[in-house]
Amino acid sequence: MRHLAIIGSGPAGYYTAEAAQKAFGDDVHIDIIDRLPVPYGLIRFGVAPDHQSIKNVSRRYEKVALTDNVRFVGNVSVGDDISIAELQELYDAVILATGAPNDRTLEIPGSELDGVIGSAAFVGWYNGHPDFTELNPPLDGKNVVVVGNGNVALDVARILAKTETEFAGSDIVGHALEALKASNVEKITLLGRRGPHQIAMTPKELGELGKLTRACPRINPDDMPDEGDDAMLEPGMRKSVTHLRAYAAIPEEYRADKSVEIDFDFFAMPVEIQGDGKVEAVVVEETELDTDMRSNGTGNRTTIPCDMLISCIGYRTPPIEGVPYEHGRGRFASDEGRIMPGLYCVGWARRGPTGTIGTNRPDGYAIADMIAEDIGNGAGKQGREGLDALLKSRGTDLVTFRDWKNIEQAEIGRARDGAPREKFVDVEDMIKARGVM
């Protein structure tokens, strides 16, 4: 019997489990350990609450979770409740699928001011992540600046711009819905260091901005490259740019009944955040692109009002004691996922925060192949029995998949009308809810 411990129950964790089941059949026991009592990582806490069809991928993970040789071990934080060295003693392979949950910080003067928020925190707040329940983002001001030109920036802008009715059918948490209902935001500026041909926004998400009830995108037509140059783009990107061209052509009359503007400020980088204790303005420098499409400041600076700044500029994996780490890139150090025989990383913890949910699938399968090469038939380790004994001796209250299904039922039971669920937003409430059935 081979014993595998996968740390993290997001897409990378579940795809790795699926691949290991295929590789080893009945000759494997897999424990998927997560620091939270609820599974699925960013499927629950990252993917936007108004994108329920994307969240449905968790049904595939549930199939894996419900097979006999896979177990979910929630509410156990690796690095705190148990060390990597201890797990290596107990399991033939330990796989870090811990994602990249920490915001990369905007390293400019003023970034410590109140009202400057990273997207992990803001997204975690509206998705009910227990770490960010108390965030209380300042929504009383008119101007929000969102730094970044990727899909996370689009999610953030869309969530800020939607009316209550547009959240029907979503699982946005109650505290966020109430706060957004009372929001005074009128202008959301998306700052991008480069231009329309360099965005990392996909067509579907970009297209949604053109269909909002009270909000309308604005793009300066002078920022758009010559239309003939679009032919050089790959098809998905060309489609995204087509949306930008349509937004640049929106006539002023159309904006008359729109109370929120989403302004794409291309070729613009924040260089300073100003304010007395809290953010009040952002100094923005115009940029131009060199022949390698890198952006360079031109020295032309303007100051824009800002009551809240949300930076969507990437994420880092927190280090775990005893695991080699690439500080520059903010991820574990590995050779294609092999940290050393018996210790691996996968998904965002391996690659950094890039790619879609599906990108983690081949990652998981490649790691399972590596594990097969390295561990043979297993070395007679204790596996889950040893883990349970150790956690019991420490008084750790682990949460099982059956407990999670009870929590899920309780969340479904307390949903608003038309919503799929009302999530519990703190760990204690989740743990209490496991006993409801």
Ligand X SMILES: Cc1cc2nc3c(=O)[nH]c(=O)nc-3n(C[C@H](O)[C@H](O)[C@H](O)COP(=O)(O)OP(=O)(O)OC[C@H]3O[C@@H](n4cnc5c(N)ncnc54)[C@H](O)[C@@H]3O)c2cc1C
Positions that interact with ligand X (CB under 6 A): 7-13, 33-36, 41-42, 46-47, 51, 54, 77-79, 97-99, 101, 123, 152, 155, 347-349, 355-357, 360
Q: How far is the C-alpha of 351 from the C-alpha of 360, rounded, in Å?
A: 9
For ligand X, the closer CB: 54 or 248: 54
CB nearer ligand X, residue 334 or residue 360: 360
- Tokens 């009870």 correspond to 406
**Which one, 152 or 180, has the nearer CB to ligand X?**
152
**Beta-bridge partners for 283:** 272, 303
Residue 208 or 230: the one with the smaller Cβ distance to ligand X is: 208
Determine the Cα–Cα distance for residues 315 and 46; give it in Å rounded to an integer: 12
If the CB atoms of residues 46 and 270 are measured against ligand X, the closer one turns out to be 46
Minimal distance, residue 271 CB to ligand X, in Å? 25
Distance (Å, whole) CA 103 – CA 324: 20
Q: Minimum distance from CB of 360 to ligand X (Å)?
A: 5
Q: How far is the CB of 8 from ligand X (least distance, A)?
A: 3
- Shortest spacing between CB 325 and ligand X, in angstroms: 13
CB of 297 to ligand X, least distance (A): 28
Count Cβ atoms below 10 Å from residue 19 Cβ, excluding itself.
23
> If DSSP codes are grouped into helix, strand and coil, which group holds residue 102?
strand
How far apart (Å, rounded) are the C-alpha atoms in residues 422 and 414?
Answer: 6
289: which 2 tokens? 């692109």
Distance CA 428, CA 432 (A): 6
- Nearest residue (CB) to ligand X, 11 versus 128: 11
State the nearest-atom distance from the C-beta of 125 to ligand X, in Å: 11
Residue closer to ligand X by CB (options 127, 295) is 127
Choose between 36 and 224: whose C-beta lies nearer to ligand X.
36
Minimal distance in Å, beta carbon 86 to ligand X?
13
Q: Which amino acid is at 311?
A: S
- Give the start-end residues of each E strand in 331-429: 331-332, 338-340, 343-345
Residue 50, both tokens: 């108004």
Whether residue 223 contacts residue 192, with contact meaning beta carbons closer than 8 Å, is answered with no
> At a CB cut-off of 8 Å and minimum separation 6, what does 196 contact?
219, 223, 224, 225, 241, 244, 264, 266
Asked whether 345 and 371 are in contact (CB, 8 A), the reply is no
Q: By C-beta, is 78 or 262 nearer to ligand X? A: 78
Distance CA 13, CA 367 (A): 11
- Region label for 417, one of left (φ > 0), alpha (ψ between -120 and 50) or beta (otherwise): beta
What residues are paired with 187 via a beta bridge? Answer: 143, 261
Alpha carbon dihedral 88, 90, 96, 98, in 10-degree steps, equals -130
Q: How far is the CB of 357 from ligand X (least distance, A)?
A: 4
Q: Which is nearer to ligand X, 159 or 375 (CB)?
A: 159
Which residue in 39, 38, 46 sits closest to 17, CA to CA? 39
Q: Output 230 or 408, the one with its CB closest to ligand X.
A: 408
| Cβ nearer to ligand X, comparing 30 with 283 | 30
User: What's at 21, amino acid-wise?
Assistant: Q
Taking the complex as a whole, the smallest distance from the CB of residue 231 to ligand X amounts, in Å, to 27
CB of 174 to ligand X, least distance (A): 20
Q: How far is the CB of 225 from ligand X (least distance, A)?
A: 27
**Torsion angle in degrees (nearest 10) through CA of 245, 249, 254, 256:** 100
Strand order from edge to edge, sheet including 281-289: 268-274, 281-289, 295-305
The three-class DSSP label of residue 213 is coil
Smallest gap from Cβ 6 to ligand X, in A, equals 9
Asked if 238 and 162 count as a contact pair (C-beta separation under 8 A), the reply is: no
